[in-house]
Amino acid sequence: MHRRKMLGLVAAGAAAFTGMLAVDQRNATSAGAPTVRPVRSPRSGSASAGPRGGETLVVFFSRAGENYPDLDLEIGNTAQIAGFIHDRVGGDLYEIVPAEPYPASKDETSTQAQREQDERVYPEIRGEVPDTDRYGTVFLGAPNWWLEQPMVVQTFMRDRDLGNATVIPFVTHDGSGFGNALDVLARYYPDAEVLQGFAERGVNVFNDPDKARTDVDAWLQGLGF
């Protein structure tokens, strides 16, 4: 994992897929896995390296509406988790919103998400994206689609340098836990310090948000927040 510091993994769910899509039986870490162009930042010994800010950012993508298995969400499951994190740690909260919304149908979204991943399509993000140099700690959240972060999240990862930050991932899923998302994170940010992440089944967040908040608080307390 290069120089990443992986402190472990909390997976409050099982292992099959994510907060809204069916299980992809392909192994995205196999020899046929697509390559990514990681954002590399100069390390502290470089003359051009500048110190990161000490602020905290909670950044996430989430999808409301029709979700797997048979959910109709007013607020996306990942958005719920992001809100619980922000309530405890403070800092700034930023939602990744695609310039072109995903379809209302979960099946159509699933098909589009798979095509984007297969063809390495990076959807545009609506609005201004935060300057991440301000932040020393970044919580990065997404539903786990086809065992990876949705490609619109990977647009953010491709275009924003978190190489000298402390990155803390969280996902919602439908049984796969993190899937290959941590490997994807390592490919974009091989030098980032990655702390213990949090994974929760989307249906559990929907059915018992109070317990999900309690689980998030316990995880954050374990990290020292």
DSSP summary character for residue 26: S
| Range from 35-39, 41-45, 83-87, 115-119 carrying the lowest mean pLDDT | 41-45
CA distance 198 to 53: 24
CA distance 195 to 170: 10
Residue 6 has pLDDT above 60, yes or no: no
Greater pLDDT, 39 or 184: 184
Going from the C-alpha of 216 to that of each of 45, 79, 94, 210, the distances in angstroms are: 36, 13, 18, 10
What digits encode the pLDDT tens for the residues 110-135? 999 999 999 999 999 999 999 999 99
Structure tokens, 208 = 């018992």
What digits encode the pLDDT tens for the residues 47-99? 223 346 689 999 999 999 998 788 889 999 999 999 999 999 999 999 999 99
| Range from 12-16, 44-48, 172-176 carrying the lowest mean pLDDT | 44-48
Residue 224 has pLDDT above 60, yes or no: yes
Number of H helices, E strands in the chain: 6, 9
Instruction: Provide φ and ψ at 174, rounded to 5°.
Output: -115, 20
CA distance 124 to 119: 15
- Asked if 141 and 173 count as a contact pair (C-beta separation under 8 A), the reply is no
Q: Identify the pLDDT of residue 71.
A: 87
Structure tokens, 108 = 């159509």
Going from the C-alpha of 97 to that of each of 8, 34, 136, 178, the distances in angstroms are: 29, 24, 23, 21
Residue 4 has pLDDT above 90, yes or no: no
- Asked if 202 and 174 count as a contact pair (C-beta separation under 8 A), the reply is yes
Q: Identify the pLDDT of residue 68.
A: 79
Residue 21 has pLDDT above 60, yes or no: no
Tell which residue, 107, 141, 121, has the closest CA to residue 219.
Answer: 141
DSSP summary character for residue 159: H
Q: Provide the mean pLDDT of the chain.
A: 81
- Asked if 218 and 84 count as a contact pair (C-beta separation under 8 A), the reply is no
Q: Identify the pLDDT of residue 219.
A: 98
DSSP summary character for residue 203: H
Q: Identify the pLDDT of residue 52.
A: 61
Greater pLDDT, 142 or 36: 142
Structure tokens, 24 = 């992809």
Strand partners, 57: 92, 138
Tell which residue, 201, 195, 125, has the closest CA to residue 160.
Answer: 125
